[in-house]
Amino acid sequence: MAIGNRVAFIDGVRSPFGRAGEKGVFWTTRADDIMAKTVVGLLERNPKVPPAAIDEVALAAATQAGDQGLVLGRSVGILAGLPLSVPGYAIDRWCAGAMTATTTVAGGIAMGAYDIAIAGGVEHMGHHPIGAGLEPNPRFISEKLVDPAALSMGETAERLHDRFPQLTKERSDRFSMASQAKAEAAYEAGKIQADLVPVSASGEAGWTVVSVDETRRPGTNMEGLADLKTPFRPHGRVTAGNASGLTDGATACILASDEAVAKYGLTPKMYLVTYAFVGVEPEVMGIGPIPSTEKALAKAGLTMDDIGLIEINEAFAVQVLSFTDHFGMSDDDPRVNPMGGAIAFGHPLASSGVRLMIQLARGFAEHPEVRYGMTTMCVGLGQGGTVIWENPNWKK
């Protein structure tokens, strides 16, 4: 797919992800404050970007209410100290909110409407549990427009196990154990912390600075995973151990045109090649990355063999395995989530798309032999999204 102006990913950061709920580190912290601190950290890390030159702030949340309502892009821009001349808006595509914020402003850059934009997302799943405040239209069920399982993300994952019997619980558990191990190795190497913005938070013991992800489980083993309950159905296969954790957190990135890169002396970490979103059966929403990836690859004129790094959101292990099986990849393909994924870090719904981009950009820096990579994820109510990126460090 040809675009006008080239779109550069300049940088991305995120807050640490905290466990959702009263015992989580962000329980008494507002979602918009976590998001504002993340934007401030992003701008502090990129002093060459003049705040007044930012053309747009697009921020996502799956629940557009309470402390993550009030037109997030605009309200957070004000909270973060951006000039009042900088506009902003809120966006929602459930789990793919930040991914959609990124592709939407990228479209503005490609057509010449923007030169520099900020995109990202936040989800405080402690304040806004999945589905809280939603009123699905009763016609979904009464007219059989949507299978009832579509309204339970855990049940959609169980449906994948049903549809693909070869995707066993043992395989899901083993993938999850590996995700935890890779995340811990990345932490030990300082790769994850390098892109985290510390956030102050208050708790029973007073104020603290949150600087690491709270939901990691180093030392996870198969024996421990085997004993976990299956909450979505009796004798099921989906557990808390092979699914992403409920978390609070925010992400933000800077995108720019080539003209802005040259004007301000910026250094791109990635270039956007193309992207694609698709719809799938809502009750098996986890297969969404398969057709969205096929569509994006076709638009780019590439095949999976051209993709050297893949950051796929680990909403559920079985969802990732359905993707790797479809493309003939092994469960432990080294291209897939080399620094771990959402099973270890958590999945604060609308923020996760940019977390994938942050990790891919770091992977590109470490692997100049890789030319193309992708970020991809499934989306609640039956969608998938894939973005293909090019590595500016690529050397033949």
pLDDT digits (tens, 9 = 90+) for 136-194: 999 998 999 999 989 899 999 999 999 999 999 999 999 999 999 999 999 999 999 99
Per-residue pLDDT, 155: 96
DSSP per-residue string spanning 303-343? -GGGEEEEEE--SBHHHHHHHHHHTT--TT-TTB-TT--HH
Residue 134's pLDDT band (boundaries 50, 70, 90)?
A: confident
- pLDDT digit string (tens) for 303-337? 999 999 999 999 999 999 999 999 999 999 999 99
Concatenated DSSP letters of 149-214 = GGG-HHHHHHHHHHH-TTS-HHHHHHHHHHHHHHHHHHHHTTTTGGGB--EEEEETTEEEEE-S-S
Residue 141 is assigned to a structural domain of this protein: no
* Residue 7 half-sphere exposure toward CB, CA atoms < 13 A: 29
**Structure tokens of 119?**
């995109």
pLDDT for 297 = 98
Residue 188 lies in a domain: no
- Is 57 domain-assigned? yes
Q: In degrees, to the nearest 5, what angle opens at C-alpha 65 toward C-alphas 140 and 99?
A: 75
253 flagged as catalytic: no
Number of C-beta neighbours around residue 144 at 10 A: 9
Residues in CB range of 215: below 8 A, 6 or more apart: 17, 18, 19, 245, 247, 344, 345, 346
For residue 55, being part of any structural domain is answered with yes
Residue 253 belongs to domain spanning: 7-127+245-390
Choosing from 95, 124, 127, 128, the catalytic residue is: 95
pLDDT at 241 over 70: yes
**Domain presence at residue 353:** yes
Quick check: is 231 in a domain?
A: no
C-alpha 82/C-alpha 43 separation (Å) is 10
Q: What is the pLDDT of residue 1?
A: 39
| Residue type at 188 in one-letter notation | E
Question: CA–CA separation, 249 vs 26, rounded Å?
Answer: 9
Number of domains forming the structure of the chain: 1
Of the chain, the end-to-end C-alpha distance in Å amounts to 23
What pLDDT was estimated at residue 2? 46
Strand partners for 311: 375
Structure tokens at 100: 């959609």
DSSP letter (8 states) at residue 96:
G
| Pairing of the two strands 56-60 and 116-124 | parallel
Q: Which pLDDT band, with edges at 50, 70 and 90, does 4 fall under?
A: confident
Nearest of 248, 254, 286 to residue 268 by alpha carbon = 254
Q: What is the CATH number of the domain that holds 369?
A: 3.40.47.10
Do strands 199-203 and 206-210 pair parallel, antiparallel, or not at all (unpaired)? Answer: antiparallel
- Measured CA to CA in angstroms, residue 5 lies from 98, 107, 113, 162 at distances of 21, 9, 10, 45
Q: Which of these is catalytic: 124, 127, 253, 378?
A: 378
The stretches of 13-82 forming alpha helices (DSSP H) are 31-45, 72-79
What is the residue-averaged pLDDT of the chain? Answer: 96
Share of the chain above pLDDT 90, in %: 94
Query: Rounded CA gap, 123 and 224, in Å?
Result: 29
Predicted pLDDT of residue 3: 54
Mean pLDDT on 196-200: 97
Q: Give the tokens for residue 260.
A: 């802005």
In a domain, 212, yes or no: no
In a 10 Å sphere around its CB, with 0-12 CB exposed, 13-18 middle and 19+ buried, how is residue 92 labelled?
middle
Does 217 reside within a domain? no
Over its C-alpha atoms, the chain yields an Rg (Å, rounded) of: 20
- Please report which confidence band the pLDDT of residue 390 belongs to, taking 50, 70 and 90 as the band edges: very high
Catalytic residue among 127, 128, 161, 347: 347
